[in-house]
Amino acid sequence: NAGVTQTPKFQVLKTGQSMTLQCAQDMNHEYMSWYRQDPGMGLRLIHYSVGAGITDQGEVPNGYNVSRSTTEDFPLRLLSAAPSQTSVYFCASSRNREHQPQHFGDGTRLSIL
Amino acid sequence: RKEVEQDPGPFNVPEGATVAFNCTYSNSASQSFFWYRQDCRKEPKLLMSVYSSGNEDGRFTAQLNRASQYISLLIRDSKLSDSATYLCVVTGNQFYFGTGTSLTVIP
């Protein structure tokens, strides 16, 4: 059972480049979410999804797009990378948001030069 | 007002000590509550769920007080391996994370 898989684990981009962070889960979870965590800071919610075809913004959505075409996958797109987006990105999933805990991927460490 | 407030610490305690963390939440309709543990530069991992009647898992005890809207985590007989950041989580429309409480257990 792989759980939540994030790729890549590390990435360096130049300002203005775009890229997609991949997230996949094999637990048939309905709820998926993306967080960023800056050094010494807490988790901040970027976008979340309560099921295939449904997405919503979190606390810090600007500069990021998401889509949820399948239950398994929830990619995060950086449209035009900026140094302020240098962070660790975590994807998480849960059977539902009301009663079940989230399970996290092991993160993508992203540096924007 | 933040959905979840948590004392950031840091808490520095000797091995064998008992330490308690508290977390307050603002939405009285919140349904589920969890404690997570996060090691440096790693992903958060579920430590335990928090049930209305309180629950225990080995050296860890979690309590929920709905009337005062806070949850707590008690760690007994602290081990060096307990050193980490502890995050409280409250559910609503989404998962609301506290900023975390840093614990260092000193030999």
Beta-bridge partners for B35? B48, B88
pLDDT digits (tens, 9 = 90+) for A42-92: 899 999 999 999 999 999 999 999 999 999 999 999 999 999 999 999 999
Residue A1 has a pLDDT of 63
Q: Which of residues 9-68 of A touch B (CB under 8 A)?
A: 33, 35, 41-43, 45, 48, 58
Q: What φ, ψ does residue B80 adopt, rounded to 5°?
A: -55, -35
Question: How many C-beta atoms lie closer than 10 Å to residue B89's C-beta?
Answer: 25
Cβ distance of A103 and B46 shorter than 8 Å: yes
- Extract the tokens encoding A13: 């981009």
Distances (CA, A) of A8 to A20, A24, A90, A102, B105: 9, 12, 11, 21, 33
Nearest CA in chain B to A102: B46
Task: Report how far Cα A64 is from the mean position of its chain's Cα atoms.
Answer: 10
Residue A86 has a pLDDT of 97
Element of type H or E holding A93: strand A87-94
Residue B93 has a pLDDT of 82
Residue B4 has a pLDDT of 93
Name the residue facing A99 among B31, B87, B94 (closest C-beta). Answer: B31
Residue B38 has a pLDDT of 96
Residue B9 has a pLDDT of 85
pLDDT digits (tens, 9 = 90+) for B59-78: 999 999 999 999 999 999 99
Nearest alpha carbon to residue A4 among B5, B10, B44: B44
Question: How many C-beta atoms lie closer than 10 Å to residue A56's C-beta?
Answer: 14
pLDDT digits (tens, 9 = 90+) for B15-25: 999 999 999 99
Tally A–B CB contacts below 8 A: 49
CA distance B101 to B22: 9
Nearest alpha carbon to residue B50 among B25, B22, B67, B71: B71
Residue A39 has pLDDT above 90, yes or no: no
HSE-CB at A39 with a 13 A cutoff on CA atoms is: 4
Residue B1 has pLDDT above 80, yes or no: no
Residue type, B74: L
